Amino acid sequence: MSGTTQDTSALVPAIPVLKRYALPLSVAVLVIFHAVGLWGMAFSNNPAYFQSLTPLNLLLTNALLFGFHRRWNRTFFLFALTVFAVGFLVEVVGVHTGLLFGSYSYGSALGYKLWRVPLLIGLNWLMLVYVTGTLADRLRVHWLLKAVAAAALMVLLDFFLEPVAVTFDFWSWHKGAIPAFNYITWFAIAFLLQLYFQKTAVYKKNKLAIFVYVVQLFFFIALYSIII
């Protein structure tokens, strides 16, 4: 028993150290994984391999991001489930009807699909709404303007993401060109979800959120500049 007590007590001083370095280590992991992905998809001899790692990268990013979330209460779980479901279902409607975003279909790069839509798409919607909503909440403006700003940040990321997605088989547009109303619809749906985020009592402070957004934005801008 005394040995067990010593082992447990020895861990206590390490906890503040882990907390102190959690943010820089998480940022480093984000940067390294995205940098490796950028090199692999743009410059390696086997871009398909790095492309297949996209689901892992998305899951890792979400694990790091939500590892910094506080107050895992009923309100947060309801928010997360709602945004995941809405994001996934609007994509289902979009793929099957072409009415929301235009005529498009998903490739194999994002993993397992349900109703022709990768399940990870719902998680991606949740991540983007949460990250941009958290960033916009820092603004000292009316909550309605915060929702507008957050939706605009989502569309900005999507602008650079779209051509990259087509190139690397995330999804493809049946008529070739990306329709302009895709971005309009994206903004409208994002804005509605951001209204929900701003008005709900979800805890809106996350130290890693800004790094997730900036790393992803630079990742897609870099790929965009290479393929365009």
Inter-residue contact 57 to 30 (CB < 8 Å): no
Residue 11's pLDDT band, with cuts at 50, 70 and 90, is: very low
Helix 2-11 vs helix 14-42: angle between axes, to the nearest 10 degrees?
A: 60
pLDDT digits (tens, 9 = 90+) for 78-87: 999 999 999 9
Q: How many CA atoms lie within 13 A of 99 on its CB side?
A: 5
> Helix (H, G, I), strand (E, B), or coil: what is residue 4?
helix
pLDDT of residue 197: 98
Detail the DSSP E strand segments found in the chain: 104-106, 113-114, 117-118, 171-173
pLDDT digits (tens, 9 = 90+) for 124-146: 999 999 999 999 999 999 999 99
pLDDT digits (tens, 9 = 90+) for 46-66: 999 999 999 999 999 999 999
Whole-prediction pTM: 0.91
What does the longest C-alpha to C-alpha distance in the chain come to?
71
